[in-house]
A and B are shown apart, each in its own frame.
Chain A
Amino acid sequence: QEFTAKIGNLEAPQAVINQMIEKVGDLVSERTDGAVEFQLFPSGQLGPQREMTEAVQLGTLEATVAPIAFLGGFNPEASIVDIPFLYPADETAAQEIRAGEFGTALCESFESRGTHCVGLWPNGRKQFTSNTSMEDMDAFQNQTFRVMESSILQAQMEALGATAVPLPFGELYTALQTGVVEGQENPLDTIFNMKFHEVQDYLLVSNHGVIENVILFNPMFWDSLPEEYRATITEAFAEVIPELIEKKAEAGEEALQVIRDSGTEVRELSEEETAAFRAAMYAPAREAYLDRAGTAGQTLIDLYEEAYATATQ
């Protein structure tokens, strides 16, 4: 082969994202007659996301498929995806926003950051789990939730009267078990893979946050590829999205079943509740976002709000 792309990713090898990267690798290899090969490094073998992204900028790693939530330090504009209830519940409407003008602008915002964005990949929605009941919005008052290091996520929890505590992911299982924090937020398959349901009594299927992944290539490597290969790669990443959404939903359903069977009490947010939660959480989180992302963030959020209005009409 002429080109080998090392691709780093945080998730375990059996995770949907890795299966899909592998599939894209197969498609690309086939369509370029083996000229371009992907070499996968899953489960953070090459380091945590911050280092992998830095490595893509530096050129020691050709590509990474990264949750945007980890990239605020590289591209504050992209932190817009941390804002809760960003996409409508309906996945088709969500994909419309992702594939439209807003998604394109979000992707392009990575170009000035020493990376080339090949596309956006959905990777599920976040849910709340806790050891204290979450029977309504008031129940969140004074609960402590572990969130990732992000001022937007802090604002999101404050909006519910809860306290956001940033803890290292590796210590989260034990912290939930002993009660250092009461709850946390993650997608269903992460909750299942990390076995958080073993140490959590309640799960609220809130779908409140999107986990959006971005596919970033090192610009030098990208420019060294012939035009047709670049098109092949970009297309392959785009064409598997429907399958990715489907598999992700299946994995979520399976995870939910196991979590239910484990005795964790599962409740789903109704449509009215979703609207109420969005009304409470969206504005403070949006403000926290604009604090950091400035005028470029304002442009992006205008684009987003227009797209959201159209998609939910």
Chain B
Amino acid sequence: MKMFLTALRLAERTVLVAILLGMVALFALNVLVRQWGGPMAAELAWIDETVRLMNLFLVFLSAGLALERGRQVAVDTWRDRIAARTGLPLRRIIDIVGCLFSLYIAWMALTMARFVFSTGQRSPTLDVPIGYIYLAPALGFALLALRYALSLAGVVHRFNTPEPEEIAQ
């Protein structure tokens, strides 16, 4: 499990860094060519669409990593106080709900991707199947669901403040 997680994290981080640097390089190239490349600019019409596609993957593929690092935005000011007062295992509830929700959205995204692949819709400049854009949320929410599940199982500790019993250990 530990090795799998390490490999997964490395893969996620590599892809994210490559995507963002690639987006910058493509847009900068586009500007350079339009300014000094003359009619070559028309050859680069695919850049805007490509960068948009890369951004989609950047956004969704970072979701799981962000959750694991406690970076997904939450108003957690009152969470532990409410949990203590009501005796509800709030952190577990959040993990379970988050996992189910993410799985469902991942499934719907996959459904959407399959549907769009089946209609044969293609992108205007890259001329690739549009279905790919829905693979981004499908993958991203699957990764998010995995992190919620791992947090529930206690494999990753994503909450900014440790639980009282964790401090004791």
Contact = CB atoms under 8 A, between A and B. Distances in A.
A157 B115 CA distance: 35
Which secondary structure dominates chain B's binding surface?
Answer: helix
A113 interface: yes
Interface in B113-127: 115-116, 119-125, 127
Contacts, number: 54
A158 B41 CA distance: 11
Contacts of B115: 57-58
Q: How large is the interface on B (under 10, 10 to 19, 20 to 34, 35 or more residues)?
A: 20 to 34
B125 A166 contact: yes
B9 interface: no
B40 to A, nearest CB: 9
B119 A166 contact: no
Contacts of B48: 149, 166-168
A166 B46 CA distance: 9
A258 B122 CA distance: 39
A72 B124 contact: yes
Contacts of A114: 119
A150 B38 contact: no
A151 B127 CA distance: 10
A168 B48 CA distance: 9
A165 B41 contact: yes
Given A50-B130, A164-B42, 16 more contacts: A54-B116, A54-B119, A57-B119, A73-B121, A73-B122, A73-B123, A73-B130, A113-B119, A142-B38, A144-B41, A150-B124, A151-B125, A154-B42, A154-B45, A163-B39, A165-B34
A74 interface: yes
